[in-house]
Amino acid sequence: MVIHKLKMKKIFVIAVIVTSSLTAYAQKAHIIQSTPFENVLRSMKTDSVSLFMNAFSSKIIGGEKDEKVWLSRLNQGKEKFKNRFGAFQPSDFSYSYEKKESKLIIYFKGMEQHRMSVIKEGKAWKLNEK
């Protein structure tokens, strides 16, 4: 009985290590699908309205080209990120991609935070949700 419990414990520990290793391996500092999210992060650091707006798909932009509207959205995003992540650096984020549902999986300091829909428009990846 004791030997059986020890074997089960070893199997459990090995399973946790393998799962953790696979999760860490899947996260990368940059993947092509993360480009629009990284552009959002850069736009927040540089106050670039055009970089922010161009990170989103035409569906999300919906014809709204007014710079004042996008400046307001950028400022709202900056406030949300500040509240959620504090004084973040773009390097605090890593990514993986779920192809079946076309979701960018965003990690902050190794912990999954959000899954965002992304779409390829022409040659560029874009965020397909707000």
pLDDT in tens, 102-128: 999 999 999 999 999 999 999 999 999
**pLDDT score of 130:** 85
d(CA 27, CA 21): 10
The share of the chain scoring above pLDDT 70, in percent, equals 80
Residue 117, H or E segment? strand 111-121
Which residues contact residue 116 at a Cβ distance below 8 angstroms, ignoring those fewer than 6 apart? 37, 103, 104, 106, 127, 128, 129
Amino acid, res. 75: N
Q: What are 8's two structure tokens?
A: 């089960």
Band the pLDDT of 51: cuts 50, 70, 90: very high
